[in-house]
Amino acid sequence: MAQAPTAALECRDLAKTYYSTDPPSEVVSGIDLAVRRGEFLAVMGASGSGKSTLLYNLSGMDRPTGGRVLLEGRDLTTLDDREMSRVRLTRVGLVFQHAYFLRTLNVRDNILLPALKAAQGRRQAADAAARVDALMERFGIAHVGRHGITQVSGGQLQRASICRALACEPSVLFADEPTGALNSGMTKEVMDALTDAHTGGATIVMVTHDPACAARADRVVFLRDGRLVDSREFGAWSEEESRRREDDLVTWLREQGF
């Protein structure tokens, strides 16, 4: 019997070049990276370093121009558009800087919609609804489920985004600057929710510019000019060690010229 890959996600010699510019712009170049199952990985770097481009290529939101991306051992670069759409729906969870919810649906229905789309048959649809309700309870937004999306706070919307991303039980949860539009109080809410998801076993890849957010991760990698130039292992996060850990991260980032 074949063993499951130890890495939930990996890329090999990953490259992304945009040929619409003159000259062509190589945004990501020759990146090798493996994300362990259950790991919380933060990706940092200056603006324009290729952080978000890397995340979009790892998650299947965009296709690389070179290299391979393996999700649970499956090479995403070999999939056609239909197969890739199914992977994005069922095996990948995405949280963006903005929530991107449908204004015509309430909070719960926005979370439930992709899970229902992925379900096959009434039994799976019922299971999806129960899973969504459990997630909303777990992340403290069950009481606003019937509210419109303009009737809740930014922090609640981002927690709803995390619920939506987890609703199909993805292999990896990707977060692109999930706190970039939030104040400090809401940022803590969202990072507490991501930390909770990670403690529950989720594999997370998060792009952030905020050292306080990155300090929650098990490992931080640093990009410069589209290349992975260094990484730092931190291990499990704890509230008691958070200030010392953030200070250590800031010192390391300064050494990288951040």
**166-202 tens-digit pLDDT:** 999 999 999 999 999 899 999 999 999 999 999 999 9
pLDDT-derived band at 28 (thresholds 50, 70, 90) equals very high
Sheet holding 25-36, edge to edge: 25-36, 7-18, 66-71, 74-75
The average confidence (pLDDT) of the chain is 94
Question: Mapping DSSP to helix (H, G, I), strand (E, B) and coil, where does residue 178 land?
Answer: coil
Q: In the chain, pLDDT over 70 holds for what percent of residues?
A: 98
Query: Does the residue 76 lie in any domain?
Result: no
Does position 1 have pLDDT exceeding 60, yes or no?
no
Rounded Cα–Cα distance for residues 164 and 179 (Å): 16
> 121: alpha, beta or left, given left = phi > 0 and alpha = psi -120 to 50?
left
pLDDT-derived band at 4 (thresholds 50, 70, 90) equals low
Query: Does the residue 141 lie in any domain?
Result: yes
Rounded Cα–Cα distance for residues 108 and 111 (Å): 5
CB 30 within 8 A of CB 17: no
What is the number of domains present in the chain? 1
Query: Does the residue 119 lie in any domain?
Result: yes
pTM of the model: 0.94
Q: In the chain, pLDDT over 90 holds for what percent of residues?
A: 91
Query: Does the residue 133 lie in any domain?
Result: yes
Q: Which domain holds residue 116?
A: 100-169
Query: Does the residue 188 lie in any domain?
Result: no
The number of angstroms, rounded, from the C-alpha of 25 to the middle of its chain's C-alpha atoms is 25
Query: Does the residue 58 lie in any domain?
Result: no
Token output for 189? 């809410």
Across the range 49-68, mean pLDDT stands at: 96
Rounded Cα–Cα distance for residues 86 and 70 (Å): 15
Token output for 32? 């090798």
Where do runs of H (alpha helix) occur along 153-215? 154-166, 184-199, 211-214
Query: Does the residue 155 lie in any domain?
Result: yes
Interval 92-147: pLDDT, tens: 999 998 889 999 999 999 999 999 999 988 899 999 999 999 999 999 999 999 99
Query: Does the residue 124 lie in any domain?
Result: yes
Rounded Cα–Cα distance for residues 68 and 31 (Å): 10
240 Cβ contact partners less than 8 Å away, ≥ 6 residues apart: none
Does position 6 have pLDDT exceeding 80, yes or no?
no
